[in-house]
Structure 1
């Protein structure tokens, strides 16, 4: 069997949570929880060892208490919504305020706090896949409309694919993302030495609350310029990068690499941009998997999604899903050894 299932506890609502492990013939392994449709672990063969490149926790209880969206599927709307409100078809909707005066990542009870249902399993030896389903009711979190979401994880060779799709019964904002924290050395130590390349230098200009003001700026020459491979260093990053991807199929968007492990991760997506976050808000001493201690800059989040605060910015591409339309979000994380890891002396 390339897919293993085990009980992983219960939510406070007495829902049974399952933990799935998928392995393939390339030696890769991924662990996924029904709680939050969360990526719990992802093991990739490096030159000299097997590296779990995704940060996380050992227990369900830690995920239920987590405020970092560790590995979770995020929605209805990823990113920030200014003043936790928007207007749609002449009506104002008030959302949860869970980051100061703003709304972040779907609010207090977003998709990361939901226990998803299992819809389908595909036990193919080199490309096992798992599909979860979530029904989100009208009014939940303040959002309009009933929405049905499917999220499919596929482990093919050394590539992890995540596809989100959805349908609704009335117009509603929908802008999903996956929120794994990557550390290509696998130990949760600081990522200052990781190198990153993003195929964009365009970004919305942000105010002090990290809300776009509607202007688009050029990042070339700034501390947020990653158009060539650049060490992440110690400068905090929490910024959206605009990709040249207008309703296109998958396009390359970013590449991260780690000299210590020799692993490289290339991200492809069909989304118009991505959010870069260097985990500067993770509290020092946070207990992670296998006794690791996490803290600021323990991981790297690269979150493909629509523009932040698009519901309040008509100049940005719309994130409104209408009845009869199908939302489709596709992202691939492609891993490879780009050089031999250095020998241990």
Structure 2
């Protein structure tokens, strides 16, 4: 099995290519056999995406002094993403976040998943959607609204999940400096949980510029879902008032994190209950040194706020070394372990029904 996996990776590495500047509809048969890097450009705003894991590799923006910078962490090559374990920029699925004890019961049948986080399943298992080759359906590199649409067919029984699922994600740039990420998934044949998430590591000062403890964050969330020692929700939804989780008014990340460290918690890694419904504001992040700001809108019930607590000496783009608190993640999502928590919003998609998840990032400098 290990030899077969090594051979597959080797073949993918040989077939990798850079597909910069291409446009129009890609040939699906060819794309299934190749892994590429695709660029979208809109004036002084650009991104790169690879169809390995539908991964966002870079987001290039000006700062207030007119200097360009990449505001997400990651690697220089697709090969490094293939071997990486940090989920940099990946499209997470079939079910993002944690499922307790790697199992759930649906319509009277118990499904056993692949445990990859102690006894739990994290981010879809050992081979989640961020570790597969997606098909490039369409790529328009420039113009008024450049975009790329990627497709993946998840088969019945993949990592233990029931039913076939057809998944699409579109990355699109628009004015003035807006990045949209639109996800959808259609269940085929069987009911199944679906909870997709985008796992970019943001540092508005630029990747490798240091920690994000000085970045100012506002979260439009008055409640969060407390967790146990293995980061599985207890089932409660608690008020953030009077806790280190309260970012209802803008505050530097470092101004609150001490309250966690004093409890033996090494940083933020928690799901917030986003106020309101539909496409609505989720978070605002500002970096004083660069003058960059990012506003996030989304339509999901929750958002995982993570301060890259697990990074330690990770070598990234240009040989930069990423450390603790070197970025922050804002992963809009359904609630963790929702499939085992009837009190949480359901993430079950019935046959023929479509799961949808929209995110909008608005940048300024």
Aligned length: 325
* 1:92-150 Cα deviation digits (max 9, x unpaired): 00011100111100000000100100011235513101000000000000000000000
Paired position in structure 1 for 2:275: 244
Given that residues 172 and 322 in structure 1 are in contact (C-alpha distance below 8 angstroms), is that contact kept between their aligned partners in structure 2?
A: yes
Paired position in structure 2 for 1:65: 83
Paired position in structure 1 for 2:129: 111
Q: 2:49 aligns with which of 11, 29, 32?
A: 32
Paired position in structure 2 for 1:323: 351
* 1:185-238 Cα deviation digits (max 9, x unpaired): 103211111110001120112111111111111111211111111111155000
Alpha-carbon distance in structure 2 between the residues aligned to 1:245 and 1:19: 37
Structure 2 residue ranges without an equivalent (≥5) = 1-18, 24-31, 259-266
Given that residues 3 and 128 in structure 1 are in contact (C-alpha distance below 8 angstroms), is that contact kept between their aligned partners in structure 2?
A: no
- RMSD of Structure 2 on Structure 1 (CA): 1.6
Secondary structure, in 3 states, of the residue corresponding to 2:237? strand
Residue 226 (1) aligns with residue 243 (2): no
Q: Within 5 A, what are the aligned runs for 1:291-330? A: 291-330=319-358
Alpha-carbon distance in structure 2 between the residues aligned to 1:3 and 1:271: 32
Q: Which has the higher helix share?
A: 2
**Greater shift in the superposed pair: 119-128 or 198-207:** 119-128
Paired position in structure 1 for 2:215: 194
Shift of 1:291: 1.9
Paired position in structure 2 for 1:126: 144
Paired position in structure 2 for 1:174: 194
Given that residues 41 and 142 in structure 2 are in contact (C-alpha distance below 8 angstroms), is that contact kept between their aligned partners in structure 1?
A: no
Q: Which has the higher strand share?
A: 1
Alpha-carbon distance in structure 2 between the residues aligned to 1:97 and 1:258: 37
Shift of 1:245: 3.4
Structure 1 residue ranges without an equivalent (≥5) = 7-13, 338-345
Secondary structure, in 3 states, of the residue corresponding to 1:205? coil
Alpha-carbon distance in structure 1 between the residues aligned to 2:135 and 2:73: 23
**Greater shift in the superposed pair: 175-184 or 15-24:** 15-24
Could you list the runs of 4 or more consecutive aligned residues of structure 1 that deviate by over 6 angstroms after TM superposition?
none
Alpha-carbon distance in structure 1 between the residues aligned to 2:268 and 2:330: 11
Secondary structure, in 3 states, of the residue corresponding to 2:203? coil
Alpha-carbon distance in structure 2 between the residues aligned to 1:229 and 1:126: 33
Query: With structure 1 as the length reference, what TM-score do the two structures score?
Result: 0.91
Q: 2:182 aligns with which of 143, 147, 163?
A: 163
Alpha-carbon distance in structure 1 between the residues aligned to 2:78 and 2:136: 17
Shift of 1:64: 1.0
Alpha-carbon distance in structure 1 between the residues aligned to 2:115 and 2:33: 26
